[in-house]
């Protein structure tokens, strides 16, 4: 299932410490059988989704002080992130941005808004 989404978003380039998620469908029924309206899902402060793509991480400024006559090589370095493709992420909805691409909904979340990652050990 996740592989289908990974193939459709190859055009996306996620920047910085952002993570692209495919929102997970919430249960629309309670254990007792009551049907929950859509507004209940919208009021949830914490949501979950599968990591589709991640940015390069947190940028680190260059600490090299070169001579002014040398060629300026802009090699930005990054601190990597914990989130990996296929992880299930629990995140704060208030920090997320919802987008739609080819009739599919996705969420862009800063890495700092992810509270928990659930990783399938078989993929590691």
**Which distant-in-sequence residues (6+ apart) come within 8 Å of 81 by Cβ?**
17, 19, 54, 55, 57, 58, 111
Q: How far apart are CA 59 and CA 43, in angstroms?
A: 33
φ, ψ for residue 80 (rounded to 5)?
A: -65, 165
Tens-digit pLDDT profile for residues 43-100: 678 899 999 999 999 988 776 666 666 676 667 789 999 999 999 999 999 999 999 9
pTM listed for this prediction = 0.74
The domain segmentation of the chain, as residue ranges, is 13-27+35-60+77-123
- Give the pLDDT confidence score for residue 108 in this predicted structure: 97
Nearest residue to 19 via CA among 50, 46, 51, 47 = 51
CA 103, CA 26: separation in Å to the nearest integer? 18
Q: How far is CA 86 from the centre of its chain?
A: 10
Considering the segment(s) 13-27+35-60+77-123 as one domain, its CATH architecture is Roll (2.30)
Contact 110, 18 (CB under 8 A): yes
The pLDDT assigned to 6 comes to 58
pLDDT in tens, 12-34: 899 999 999 999 876 566 667 66
């Amino acid at each position: 299932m996740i592989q289908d989404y990974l193939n459709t978003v190859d055009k996306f380039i996620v920047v910085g410490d952002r993570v692209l998620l495919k929102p997970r469908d919430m249960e629309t029924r309670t254990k007792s059988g009551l049907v929950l309206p859509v507004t209940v899902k919208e009021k949830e402060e914490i949501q979950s989704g599968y990591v589709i793509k991640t940015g390069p991480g947190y940028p680190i400024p260059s600490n090299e002080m070169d001579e002014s006559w040398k060629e300026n090589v802009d090699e930005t370095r990054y601190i990597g992130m914990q989130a990996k493709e296929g992880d299930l992420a629990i995140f704060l909805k208030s920090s997320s941005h919802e987008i739609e691409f080819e009739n599919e909904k996705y969420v862009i979340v800063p890495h700092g808004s992810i509270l928990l990652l659930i990783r399938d050990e078989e993929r590691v």
